[in-house]
A and B are shown apart, each in its own frame.
Chain A
């Protein structure tokens, strides 16, 4: 199989380049990450992140043939050759396929991704009815791989001010949680022309999410709640 992989070491290289690789591998039943591990045996200067190799940790997010995804759950047989691999777009490159996710996590932290509840903690856990718990489905599954946010043009233009789809999905995850008591503050925090309303429903986020979540829908629900609060 033929590969074209983005190579760049900002400390030594003047500019990024694409390097060609060839690998003798039977594509049936194998994932892209399997091929990358073999390529790294061939050329140990090739750098990438990986960990769980089963789509749970979100470490090996990258741009695969122009589309963000996780290498570990992308079947080799689904890819057109030469397979072009680039780092996630819109973030600074540390080396090759490894990007600096600082800005992404800064936005994630800005939405206070934890339960805010001022009642004294009960002896056991804070309970929720099954119906209330149902609302968190499709929200809590996010693994923070960054595929959606780095596919979003609004995040490319305003990474410092726009929360991005991953952060907004998590913002709604806590707004939707009946055990959370900071709904109003959370809405206040997002009622701003940049933090949420840079979203122009481009829906690249929905298109690329490897967990098939829907940040655009969550953003719509936040807008609905803001309207409900206003009128």
Chain B
């Protein structure tokens, strides 16, 4: 293969935008949880399970976690792009990270609806 500088993969804007949107989702989620914890200082097992028994809470928690995983993917990919130069090594790291995050997403569903 010739050694040329290759650019032009057309996903720069999409990923940048997704990273911003997922950040907003996580900020809202953190704020909501923070307020809830302030209002209920006596959080025990019962209250935690009670909170997550509600379907909207579970749905938003899943949205929060999916946002976290997508956000993490773009962040890690950015770091790998800056510091890992051989394309083959970059690809392997990308695949491992994507598979790990996918597993986390499946695991999250199992945790949230398995309680």
Contact = CB atoms under 8 A, between A and B. Distances in A.
A154 B13 contact: no
A161 B7 contact: yes
A227 B7 contact: no
A196 interface: yes
Given A160-B5, A192-B8, A226 B13 contact: yes
A168 B10 CA distance: 17
A227 B13 contact: yes
B12 A197 contact: yes
B13 A230 contact: yes
Instruction: State the main secondary structure of chain A at its contact with B.
Output: loop
Interface size class of A (residues with CB under 8 A): 20 to 34
Interface in B8-57: 8-13, 15-17
Nearest to B13: A226
B83 interface: yes
Q: Which of B9, B12, B16 has the most A CB atoms < 10 Å from its CB?
A: B12
Contacts of A230: 13
A186 to B, nearest CB: 13
B12 A190 contact: yes
A192 B12 contact: yes
B7 A194 contact: yes
Interface in A189-210: 189-198, 200
Contacts of A227: 13, 17
A195 B17 contact: no
Interface in A176-231: 188-198, 200, 223, 226-227, 230
15 contacts: A157-B83, A160-B5, A161-B5, A161-B7, A190-B12, A191-B10, A192-B11, A192-B12, A193-B9, A193-B15, A193-B81, A194-B12, A194-B81, A198-B82, A227-B13
